[in-house]
Chain A
């Protein structure tokens, strides 16, 4: 290692760097600031802005710090007259064609060019000639363009080519005629494209929904966690006078690095949708009446008590969105169990529950998100990964491109991936079980193991052997079951076969659940067959599908779930229509709630409540309320707490959502801190693969996953949102 250490001097201080590092790495590591525009640590080096010029002893001219490798004995001066002179001269050139429209520019106040112009710019321009003007481009509903402001750093171009993997922007023309453009008029469609807004160091690329809505200095920033996928990307909510104005990423190398998906960035618009529920409502003689919290909660408690007294507690069903916070899930679970209700579920899109007793404690990834990059092989079964979890797809892309991970897919269609895929197998939904079984047989052949007698499947083909070979050798391997397995009519069969395959291959078996907090809901016991921490219940209640197919007398719908859109089938609507009592605890006055509920209680969305999401690797991420609640809405955990009080249930005296979380963590004990579930490598017992099963396997378009996203207008205007639901 010693020969890899390079001794250099930065501004007269002797420091060490590693061989191959650029000057800017060393200066950044030792707090010697060098201004830059085009350099970004996640992107390749372009060295085209020239802002990072520094003086190096014995070099005849200033050198770009981002593109000059360090050498033994190098003496670097970042603040010498020569360095500053070069930086100021570069700044003057950059400002020649840059408009002086900072007062009307959305970037004003958070602009890298503005900041550096303060430090390195002249107070008056010497340029008196004509400035160039560049026509703005329409690149879709998410990103607005003011191309005259562009300084051609090409960060956006490099992002689309290197991170997104789909180059949608390019550098057209040359010299003074250079423009960043798609050239043919089209939108930028990649699911991570919103990140070019953050990367743009000037006001050329900005958020279109946020355009002219506010100034950066008017807003306060609050850390938030994404409610749309199981990764729990870290967000920063920008709030002005209580309203969430926009969302940007919060860096977390372990989860989302410095990126977020467009779904996380633009979904906030859905919070302020026109059908947001502003006050509690009670149906009186068939007519909706807006009322105060006290009477609404009393009506809710009475309604429930009446059904329980008259029809029995087994006539009550409780359904929660998997994006409810862990605190809400725990209170819902406690409330239901204390009342004696065991019809309780959050697995709304699941159809096949045959093997639920063999479910892991929670549907975890099996490896840490960051460790995805280090896998030697990955087999993804039943997942349109880019749509389900865009940033997990990004991790897999990094693995495939930079770590030579062998990535294969078994799906009902060959989805498009922007990285090398070893095998992208498309088989019909019905044939997925047999396909996976054949891969299992190929692994057994390759490793000289016996397959269980119940595992059928045809003799393996070459394609299946290719997957098998990659999966049974090398370092860490993962068999990941995605959303299409979760929603598959033969989920239990797929899972049984997958566990055998993982066992034979010595691979970890992981899950990618739908919703941001399926893990938290599982731990808190929002399940018909388990209490918190996976404790089995004596009398198993009805699962989500049974609650939709069996007419019950009362339903409690939590989190704004919409039958048909958030559930596997539309059958639930029919049951709601005939139920004696339906309590909807929801942020939105959805058409279903208005049509069928008897009491509607308005609650806050993820942005307006404190809480915790537990992500797919078991990471507990707590957050505080970023925005002010809309209208009379209250945080979900408070509503559940008071409802429990009115129902006369003991022990619901929480002072804060934190107290709720601490209680749950106490109940969970060691389980709460088990960050990644241990691999489930051998299937428990025999399994009988069923023949044909009822039910369809359908796609779940990216911008249809939850009620908030469905109401985000800019996202709904994208090309991606126009995809129809496909039944495979």
Chain B
């Protein structure tokens, strides 16, 4: 897989920003005393957001420290869920749903179109570090308007290969 170039500050990612810490604290308050570990998913999401779309070991250690968890338990969660990236990837996450409904409605062509447009294969990032074409493992639950893709949490439905390419053009 090609590694997107990322500036040194992001690579280090050692410290949770004040904003991230506040967000984690807010989530921790939602759980009963002694269950602060339940906030780990929200905490990782905030940490990943702070770091332009991927987690580093140092960031996960910081989350573990903040939640008073063994670091390995944070690694376990981060590697289990497909919405967390534990290796450097592009800033904009593009996921094309390839589950059964989308597949039947032609998601293979959508994938081919997106791969051609971005010049990368699924699981890779563009050399400029802008796009990351994610290998989506789960159905994204928009079967009624298949085929579809998700760009940074925004759904684009009823796609055609041309439409998918146009949408990518419009991404900042």
Contacts and interface: CB of A to CB of B under 8 A. Distances in A.
Interface of A: 161, 166-175, 182-184
Contact of B72 (A170, A173, A174, A175): A170
B73 interface: yes
Nearest to B77: A170
Nearest to A171: B76
A166 B73 CA distance: 11
B73 A167 contact: yes
A167 to B, nearest CB: 4
Contacts of B57: 183-184
Contacts of A170: 72-73, 75-76
9 contacts: A166-B70, A167-B72, A170-B73, A171-B76, A172-B76, A172-B79, A183-B72, A184-B57, A184-B71
B59 to A, nearest CB: 12
A24 B149 CA distance: 47
B39 to A, nearest CB: 18
A184 B75 contact: yes
Nearest to A172: B79
B80 A183 contact: no
A166 B57 CA distance: 18
Contact of B79 (A166, A168, A183): A183
Interface string B11-48: 00000000000000000000000000000000000000
A471 B57 CA distance: 43
Top 8 A-B pairs ranked by shortest CB distance? A170-B72, A183-B75, A172-B79, A170-B76, A167-B70, A173-B79, A174-B80, A167-B72
A169 B79 contact: no
A167 B79 CA distance: 16
Most buried by B among A166, A169, A173, A175: A173
A182 B57 CA distance: 12
Contacts of A182: 72
A155 to B, nearest CB: 16
A183 B78 CA distance: 11
Interface size classification for chain B: 10 to 19
B12 to A, nearest CB: 15
Contact of A172 (B70, B71, B75, B137): B75
A43 B76 CA distance: 20
Contacts of A175: 137
Interface string B112-154: 0000000000000000000000000100000000000000000
Contacts of A161: 70
Interface in B44-58: 57
B71 to A, nearest CB: 8
A396 to B, nearest CB: 20
A167 B76 CA distance: 11
B149 to A, nearest CB: 22
A172 B137 CA distance: 16
Nearest to B71: A184
Interface string B73-89: 10110011000000000
Contacts of B80: 171-174
A170 B70 CA distance: 10
Given A173-B80, A183-B72, 12 more contacts: A167-B72, A167-B73, A168-B72, A169-B72, A170-B72, A171-B80, A172-B76, A172-B79, A174-B79, A183-B57, A184-B71, A184-B75
A150 to B, nearest CB: 15
Contacts of B71: 184
A173 B76 CA distance: 7
Contacts of A169: 72
Contacts of B72: 167-170, 182-183
A170 B80 CA distance: 11
Contacts of A167: 70, 72-73
Nearest to B82: A174
Contacts of B137: 175
Nearest to B58: A184
B84 to A, nearest CB: 11
A167 B71 CA distance: 9
A171 B73 CA distance: 9
Nearest to A179: B79
A175 B72 CA distance: 18
A282 B158 CA distance: 94
A168 B70 CA distance: 8
Nearest to A165: B70
A251 B137 CA distance: 45
A172 B72 CA distance: 9
A620 B154 CA distance: 72
Contacts of B73: 167, 170
B41 to A, nearest CB: 14
Contacts of A174: 79-80
A166 B71 CA distance: 10
A239 B79 CA distance: 43
A196 to B, nearest CB: 14
A223 B79 CA distance: 43
A470 to B, nearest CB: 22
Nearest to A167: B70
A183 B71 CA distance: 10
A418 to B, nearest CB: 10
Nearest to B61: A184
Nearest to A182: B72
Interface in B62-113: 70-73, 75-76, 79-80
A654 B124 CA distance: 78
A405 to B, nearest CB: 20
A143 to B, nearest CB: 16
A170 B60 CA distance: 14
Contacts of A166: 70
A174 B71 CA distance: 18
A425 to B, nearest CB: 22
A721 to B, nearest CB: 23
A171 B79 CA distance: 9
A167 B72 CA distance: 7
A345 to B, nearest CB: 45
A175 B80 CA distance: 9
A123 B70 CA distance: 43
Most buried by B among A161, A168, A174: A174
Contacts of A184: 57, 71, 75
A557 B81 CA distance: 62
A477 B111 CA distance: 69
A419 to B, nearest CB: 14
A161 B73 CA distance: 10
A184 B57 CA distance: 7
A635 B48 CA distance: 64
A666 B109 CA distance: 91
A163 to B, nearest CB: 14
A161 B76 CA distance: 13
B135 to A, nearest CB: 11
A460 B81 CA distance: 52
Which of B57, B72, B75, B80 gathers most chain A CB within 10 Å?
Answer: B72
A552 to B, nearest CB: 54
Contacts of B75: 170, 172, 183-184
B76 to A, nearest CB: 4
A161 B79 CA distance: 18
Nearest to B79: A172
A172 B86 CA distance: 11
Contacts of B76: 170-172, 183
The interface centre, meaning the residue of A169, A171, A175, A182 with most chain B CB atoms within 10 A of its CB, is A171
A286 B35 CA distance: 72
Nearest to B69: A167
